[in-house]
């Protein structure tokens, strides 16, 4: 499920690509979706500033990443899929929800909420990375997720405050690394009860290959939870 195209106002493109590569390597058949709604705003990524005169559509922008093969999120059903994955990027906090503006009091897009609840009810795995775990924390009360560390540690974890917000949303936060360690699932956290798998990705200032590998751990565990 995509949220636009570009880290500051949509889907983080490197994360989406990593998800797609690991799903392909895992032998999965992939369908892409995005809500057919206006973006919260448009960011000029060369300046990091809003482009005041511009407006864009989340589905139309997401089609750039999907190479045109994408459908409205309203068409996504649990009957046709074994799992669902949400890459990160500020679009998850701006277009899939209002978390970027409202924090713990945020609202989640009604189709995103429906999809999360439907997959959870059906016992089908949900994967999320970077900032997108806030969606599960808001919609699935008590879900265990990770956005990495809970302290900034000199700038290594610039969005560490999100961990506190997850707790305020009703979720349980689990500290995880963005690099390989000796723990069984290294960068990914697996909530086996709720079948929610999360990884920090760009919540950490680290090398791109570490983010790619962490997303691989998330995808691998999502596919494992499908039982196929």
pLDDT at 178: 57
Active site residue 106: no
Nearest CA to 135 out of 98, 189, 187, 83 is that of 98
pLDDT at 177 over 80: no
CA distance 89 to 7: 5
Q: Which pLDDT does position 118 carry in this prediction?
A: 98
What pLDDT sits at residue 183? Answer: 42
Domain range list for the chain: 71-226
How is residue 195 annotated by DSSP? T
Domain 71-226 class, CATH top level: alpha beta
pLDDT > 70 in the chain, percent: 96
pTM as predicted: 0.94
pLDDT tens-digit series, residues 57-99? 999 999 999 999 999 999 999 999 999 999 999 999 999 999 9
Residues 10, 37 contacting (CB under 8 angstroms): no
* Mean pLDDT, the chain, integer: 94
Could you tell me which residues come within 8 angstroms of residue 193 by beta carbon, excluding any fewer than 6 positions away? 144
Residue 99's contacts (CB-CB under 8 Å, 6 or more residues apart) are 92, 93, 106, 131, 134, 135, 138, 165
User: Which residues on adjacent β-strands are paired with residue 97?
Assistant: 108
Mean pLDDT of 96-120: 97
Binning pLDDT at 50, 70 and 90, where does residue 196 land?
very high
Let me know: does 120 contact 78? Beta carbons within 8 Å: no
d(CA 122, CA 119): 5
Q: Of the listed 129, 130, 174, 204, which one is catalytic? A: 130
E strand residue ranges, the chain: 33-34, 43-44, 49-50, 71-72, 84-86, 126-129, 144-148, 172-175, 189-191, 196-199
pLDDT tens, 134-173? 999 999 999 999 998 888 989 989 998 999 999 999 999 9
Of 156 and 186, which is predicted with more confidence? 156
- Would the pLDDT of 185 be above 90? no
């Amino acid at each position: 499920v995509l949220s636009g195209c570009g880290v500051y106002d949509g889907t983080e493109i490197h994360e989406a690509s990593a998800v797609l590569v690991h799903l392909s390597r895992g032998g999965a058949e992939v369908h892409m979706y995005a809500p057919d709604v206006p973006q919260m705003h448009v960011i000029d990524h060369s300046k990091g500033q809003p482009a005041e005169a511009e407006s864009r559509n989340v589905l139309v922008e997401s089609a750039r990443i999907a190479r045109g093969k994408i459908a409205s999120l309203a068409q996504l059903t649990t009957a046709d899929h074994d799992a669902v994955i949400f890459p990160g990027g500020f679009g998850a906090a701006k277009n899939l929800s209002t978390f970027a503006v409202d924090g713990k009091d945020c609202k989640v897009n009604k189709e995103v909420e429906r999809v999360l609840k439907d997959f959870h009810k059906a016992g089908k795995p949900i994967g999320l990375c970077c900032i997108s775990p806030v969606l599960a924390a808001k919609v699935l009360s008590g879900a265990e997720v990770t956005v990495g560390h809970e302290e900034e540690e000199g700038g290594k974890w610039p969005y560490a405050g999100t961990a506190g917000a997850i707790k305020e949303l009703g979720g349980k936060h689990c500290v995880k690394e963005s690099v390989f360690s000796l723990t069984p699932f290294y960068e990914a956290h697996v909530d086996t009860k709720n079948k929610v798998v999360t990884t920090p990705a760009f919540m950490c200032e680290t090398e791109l290959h570490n983010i790619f590998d962490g997303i691989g751990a998330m995808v691998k565990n999502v596919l494992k939870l499908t039982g196929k």
